[in-house]
Structure 1
Amino acid sequence: MASTLLAGDSRLGFVKADGRWWIEESGGARHGSPSDEEVFVGADIGYLGRHRIGNRTVVHIAGIHTMGALGVVDYLTKHLGDLYAETKDADFSCVIRCEYDTPLDVTGSSLLAGPFLR
């Protein structure tokens, strides 16, 4: 199901290049996890998409690493109203960045790219 949802997203996708995963925009810009840099940074990124399938709405969350997915959830809990005000009922996708200091302890999250309406 996740790969089918990503295949239907014309604006963002996951690619593996240079031995690591990236979230790539349709224009070619790539976003990689800061935690994969040579000097470790307590930050990660994640994908958030809202897809309509028939009469259902599917919220798709995927991180480069686990913390990226948790960062998306953190962002949604703090910014759902703002996100809805910007996207209304449209399908969209975006990239979220989060910071963390210990495993499973997200300390902040922000919009890195998007939301891209589809």
Structure 2
Amino acid sequence: MQIPVIVQTSVLLALSNVFMTFAWYGHLKNFAGKAWWIAALASWSIALFEYLLQVPANRIGYTELSLAQLKIMQEAITLSVFVPFAMFYMREPFKLDYVWAALCLVGAVYFIFRS
């Protein structure tokens, strides 16, 4: 049984986003008192794993999806990974703005995938 391209792409992009989110924002918590270059090296180390998942995700996805569809999918996945990260890992409070942003992305997904 072949896994559909959109499922392969979505899973790889979601996993990629977990690494990306930790690379971009995790250092704010883990390396708060350290020099910026230490945080940058740690982030780049994590980002390597992001790229090892993101590049194949986009290459697989581009076989059936347009570039715009890949980008909007990425943005929707980014928000769905970022909100739990912000709340549970960084201990940020939930904001209603997350809901409004998600609704805007649902609209973006609709418009980019409708044709």
What is the TM-score normalised by the length of structure 2?
Answer: 0.29
Structure (1/2) with the larger strand percentage: 1
The structure having more radius of gyration, on CA atoms, is 2
Query: Which of structures 1 and 2 has the larger relative contact order (alpha carbons within 8 angstroms, sep 6+)?
Result: 2
Higher normalized helix content (fraction of residues): 2
